[in-house]
């Protein structure tokens, strides 16, 4: 983790000392992982990460950014409850990198597309590379990429569940961007979509008229930076 100070307009002003720890995994580190990261079994022997130390480190944080927050937030909230109490944003999905001329979303691809390379052997180096990307201006707007990320992170969205939608409408839903939840995760076994607040009523009218052909009551949940990317949505 790398703490930093920023302005509400997306300017990054100061980067502080990183939090970097190792943890012994439940099985030996494969040789290809050691070759990739430089971390071997001897380096992690008996190493643990204290959740209380993590909680103290992020105590003053107002925002956590991860590159693929949908992955990181879920396991970090299980590891340390403090991550449930802070806003989150995703540097991978909440910036329109394709419009800025990038062909991939992996951090290393974005960095090379922006014209710089970095040592990917440590997670803190990934954090610094992400901050370098976010500090750079986007081609179309001239604003820092971080300004766009903040704008998207602040905007609420709505998750609409097309519960009990007719089976023969699955292709129409899929082509409109709906995704299927078939996992036993306590959520509806149904198609769902996330839409901006301004599109919520339009999307509900579409479902009512084009999918169900009748008045219908559907589950809808408001999503913001405090629960987005979490299992709590």
DSSP for 157-175, please give it. Answer: EEEEEETT--GGGHHHHHH
CATH number of 4-153: 3.30.420
Length of the chain in residues, anyone?
233
* Phi, psi dihedrals of residue 164, rounded to the nearest 5°: 60, 30
Q: Rounded to the nearest 10 degrees, what angle do helices 145-154 and 123-135 cross at? A: 100
CA atoms lying within 13 Å on the CB side of residue 210: 12
Q: Give residue 232's pLDDT.
A: 85
- pLDDT (tens digit, 0 to 9) for every residue of the chain, 233 residues total? 999 999 999 999 999 999 999 999 999 999 999 988 889 999 999 999 999 999 999 999 999 999 999 999 999 999 999 999 999 999 999 999 998 889 899 999 999 999 999 987 789 999 999 999 999 999 888 899 999 999 999 999 999 999 999 999 999 999 999 999 998 888 899 999 999 999 999 999 999 999 999 999 999 999 999 999 998 88
Distances 153 to 50, 86, 162, 226 between C-alpha atoms, Å: 29, 12, 25, 10
Q: What is the pTM of this model?
A: 0.88
Pairing of strands 12-15, 4-6: antiparallel
CA atoms lying within 13 Å on the CB side of residue 100: 25
Give the start-to-end residue ranges of the domains of the chain: 4-153, 156-223
């Amino acid at each position: 983790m790398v703490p930093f100070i920023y302005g509400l307009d997306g300017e990054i002003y100061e980067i502080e000392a990183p939090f970097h720890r190792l943890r012994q995994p439940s099985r030996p580190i494969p040789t290809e992982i050691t070759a990739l990261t430089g971390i071997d079994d001897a380096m992690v022997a008996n190493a643990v990460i204290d959740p209380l130390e993590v909680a103290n480190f992020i105590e003053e944080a107002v925002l956590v950014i991860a590159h693929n927050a949908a992955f990181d937030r879920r396991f970090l909230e299980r590891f340390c409850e403090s991550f449930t109490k802070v806003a989150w944003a995703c540097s991978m999905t909440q910036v329109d990198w394709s419009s800025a001329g990038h062909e991939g979303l992996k951090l290393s691809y974005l960095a090379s597309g922006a014209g710089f390379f970095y040592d990917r052997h440590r997670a803190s180096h990934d954090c610094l590379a992400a901050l370098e990307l976010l500090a750079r201006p986007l081609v179309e707007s001239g604003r820092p990429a971080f300004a766009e990320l903040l704008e998207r992170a602040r905007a609420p969205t709505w998750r609409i569940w097309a519960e009990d939608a007719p089976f023969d409408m699955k292709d129409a839903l899929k082509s409109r961007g709906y995704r299927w939840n078939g996992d036993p995760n306590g959520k509806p076994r149904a198609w769902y979509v996330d839409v901006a607040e301004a599109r919520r009523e339009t999307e509900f009218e579409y479902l009512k008229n084009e999918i169900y052909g009748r008045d219908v009551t559907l589950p809808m949940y408001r999503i913001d930076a405090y629960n987005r990317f979490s299992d709590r949505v």
